[in-house]
Amino acid sequence: MIGFAGSKVKLKCYSGWGDVYKWDVIFYYQSVGTETQFRVASVTMEHPFKEVLVLDGFAMFVRKDVWAKYPFDEELLTGFHCYDLDFTLQIAADRCYKNYVCCSSEVLIEHSSQGNFNQSWYQDTIKMHKLKWNKMLPMKIEGFELGEKEMRKQEEYTFSVFLRKLLKVGYPEAKVVLKDFLAYPYSWKHLQHCIKYV
């Protein structure tokens, strides 16, 4: 599977594909108002493809036989959101194929949308994590060095950002998500985040 933005790690907490910027591999143009930005992270021109665990779905290429083996989960994900994360997690979890970001200057793509992180996105993200991937996450690409302490630190931060943004959009079941957040293992930093939201 080939895309243009992805991450080498997917944490257990509710989140999209890009949990932590330093784990991301990005190579595309992004329309922002009247301007176009070139977004790039963790790319070297000597390597036209970089392995990732998950991909953003704004542009993905896959052979037909691979897609047939890992079809979109249309029973769980009935809307527009999370199909990309679920699809690429299926491929990564099976370990028969790998996901890559295309980092070649010979293939340039422009993404026109900024994405839509509305109540529906939060609902689908939570549903996908709880009902399908909860027992398999966290995951990372093979050979990627990531200690338990660093993963827990990033998980606490990522979950707190997710919760803060969820509250901003007025998510109707915010109390349930807050309860999940409070149930996470505690560090002093996590305790500070908890006090902030109570």
Residues 101/50, Cβ–Cβ less than 8 Å: yes
Residue 100 domain flag = yes
Between 55 and 164, residue with greater pLDDT: 55
pLDDT confidence tier of residue 79, bands split at 50, 70 and 90: confident
Residue 191 domain flag = no
Q: Which two tokens stand for residue 103?
A: 């980092």
130: domain range?
Answer: 2-145
pLDDT at 185 over 90: no
Mean pLDDT of 28-57: 95
Residue 173 domain flag = no
Q: How many other CB atoms are found less than 10 A from the CB of residue 160? A: 20
- Lowest-confidence segment of 38-42, 130-134, 180-184 by average pLDDT: 180-184
pLDDT at 196 over 80: no
Q: How far apart are the first and last CA of the chain?
A: 42
Dist CA 108 CA 176 (whole Å): 42
The pLDDT of residue 86 is 97
Dist CA 94 CA 102 (whole Å): 21
Domains identified in the chain, total number: 1
The pLDDT of residue 170 is 92
The pLDDT of residue 45 is 84
DSSP letters for 60-117:
-B--HHHHHHS---TTT--SSSSHHHHHHHHHHHH-SS-EEEE--TTS--EE------
Residue 60 domain flag = yes
The pLDDT of residue 193 is 67
